[in-house]
Amino acid sequence: MTDDKDQVVNDCKQETAPAKPVQVHAAPLAIHLETPVKTSTIPAGAAGAKATRVRWGILAILFIVTTINYADRATISIAGPELKKLLDLSPVEMGFIFSAFAWSYVLAQLPGGWLLDRFGSKITYFFSIFLWSVFTLMMGWVGFFTGGTAVAVLIGLRLLVGAAEAPSFPGNSRITSAWFPTSERGKAAAIFNSAQYFATVLFAPIMGWLVHTFGWESVFYVMGGLGIVMAFIWRKTIYGPKNHPRINAAELAYIEAGGGLVDLDSGTKSSAPKINTLACIKELLSSRMLLGIYIGQYCINTLTYFFLTWFPVYLVTERHMTILKAGFIAALPAVAGFLGGVLGGVISDRMIKSGYSLSVARKTPIVGGMLLAMSMIFCNYVTADWLVVAIMALAFFGKGIGALGWAVVSDTSPKEAGGLSGGLFNTFGNTAGITTPIVIGFILQATGSFAGALVFVGANAAVAILCYLFMVGDIKRFEFKKSVMLPEASPATGGRSAASKVGA
């Protein structure tokens, strides 16, 4: 799917020159296969001072927030077996409940991206964290209802959680675009993206223990309360690069020289023309490169949503584990996924610094990781639990290595519409959250086994490989044509631009 100084950054604006004395220009990002990426250099004016490392503290906050984000998504899968018994649900009904989050999450992606571009990352993300946490907490009240009413309340709250979480990952991408040079962006995106695995490592055992000891309701109360606290920590710690009180000129210059979009969320004004939002979306979708990235993300997220929704149920029903044991066992592949997620970003960035093109550096871990992820199909041919866990760990490790989609989005999104582009990317990616739980539910109901489900998930990894090899082509920053630009306000219009009428 993922602010105090909310200087409004209007939708689809271009950045102006920095307001600080340090004037640096980003190197061009139109990278071709034969052209190595230029690493950033600090201009002479900032060379005398040692650069601070504030950007890594910002990344740490993104990692923590994303960990809570994914833990809240997974609450329903940990509580799922108990809710299934309580509400007497069929596999297909469980599939629809699991997918409810993704329906609203997908529909809210473009509005969420627009909000990020319009009001900035800090304030939009704050409300996102706060609201999804409140709705998660309220899911503990489902037990006060019975029958169809309980199911309706559960689905309704999951829809609200999904809508509230919509700005989170476009926000992550937008913040890393601002805070990190191109040569570090793969690592940064891999680290915040690896939080999805760390969430399972840390919280799956805890949530399994909570269900076993205090009942399924406790999972929602604890996770919702934790998220509310985190929302206010976010409010106090997140700033744009030019507004952060601890960053020095050397670090700011280093980020900007390497391609960081430091003017995002800085409150600087631009005299550049605005962009028609609908025309902007149409042009993004007309790019073969971006379309290949979007479809590839759908396929990669099919693996994610299998692990988030049906994997604990697979362990309980197919492998006959207890909920408590399943919670701990589910954490083992997640450890492998976390390690793979961090390693994928490190490999990609080191390839860039070694002179490989951006395209080769991003595609190599993605293709290699998806090949490993396909190994989950072999679980259909083994019986020993330890071997199943080992194969799933290998598959999840591969999925982690290949999960560089958000780094690619940071590399390719037009700087005028980073939130909108990220929202479109996440719309495609999280459509898998709608289809995967439902398709697996129908497979289970038709066959009574997870064998076909594992083949379905593995096949999506293969399609992701095909997308990156044959559709994406050169990975480079997308640039809009002038046809999507709207004229700025003239005196005759009383200071209102045409963009305000179109909703750009």
Q: Could you tell me if 80 and 94 are in contact, meaning their C-beta atoms sit under 8 angstroms apart? A: yes
Structure tokens at 94: 């469980």
Q: What residues form DSSP beta bridges with 275? A: 485
Which residues in 422-454 are b (16+ Cβ under 10 Å) and which e?
Answer: bbbbbbbbbbbbbbbbbbbbebbeeeeebebbb
Structure tokens at 321: 């584990």
The DSSP string of 169-204 is: HHHHHHHHHHHS-HHHHHHHHHHHHTHHHHHHHHHH
Report the CATH number at residue 323: 1.20.1250.20
> Is 323 inside any structural domain?
yes
> Is 20 inside any structural domain?
no
Task: Quote the pTM value.
Answer: 0.69
Q: What residues form DSSP beta bridges with 274? A: 486
What amino acid is encoded at 213 in this protein?
A: T
pLDDT-derived band at 317 (thresholds 50, 70, 90) equals: confident
Q: What residues form DSSP beta bridges with 365? A: none
209 burial type by CB count under 10 A (0-12 exposed, 13-18 middle, 19+ buried)? middle
* Cβ atoms within 10 Å, residue 226: 16
CA distance 173 to 125: 12
The pLDDT value recorded for residue 494 is: 44
Structurally, how many domains does the chain consist of? 1
> Is 43 inside any structural domain?
no
Average pLDDT, the chain: 82
What would the pLDDT profile of 202-222 be if each residue is shown by its tens digit? Answer: 888 899 899 889 999 999 999
The pLDDT value recorded for residue 301 is: 93
Find the length of the chain: 504
With a CB cutoff of 8 Å and minimum separation 6, the contacts of 491 are none
> Is 33 inside any structural domain?
no
> Is 2 inside any structural domain?
no
Q: Which residue has the higher pLDDT, 68 or 261?
A: 68
CA distance 318 to 449: 7
Q: Is 39 helix (H, G, I), strand (E, B) or coil?
A: coil
pLDDT cut 70: percent of the chain above it = 83
Provide the greatest CA pair distance for the chain.
76
What would the pLDDT profile of 377-387 be if each residue is shown by its tens digit? Answer: 999 999 888 89
CA distance 420 to 42: 31
With a CB cutoff of 8 Å and minimum separation 6, the contacts of 176 are 59, 62, 185, 188, 189, 192, 406, 410
Angle at 411 between CA 410 and CA 412, to 5 degrees: 95
> Is 259 inside any structural domain?
yes
CA distance 12 to 409: 16
Which range marks the domain in which residue 481 is found? 53-486
What would the pLDDT profile of 23-65 be if each residue is shown by its tens digit? Answer: 434 333 333 333 444 444 445 445 567 888 999 999 999 999 9
> Is 392 inside any structural domain?
yes
> Is 30 inside any structural domain?
no
Print the SS3 string covering 434-500. Answer: HHHHHHHHHHHHHHCCCHHHHHHHHHHHHHHHHHHHHCCCCCCCCCCCHHHEECCCCHHHCCCCHHH
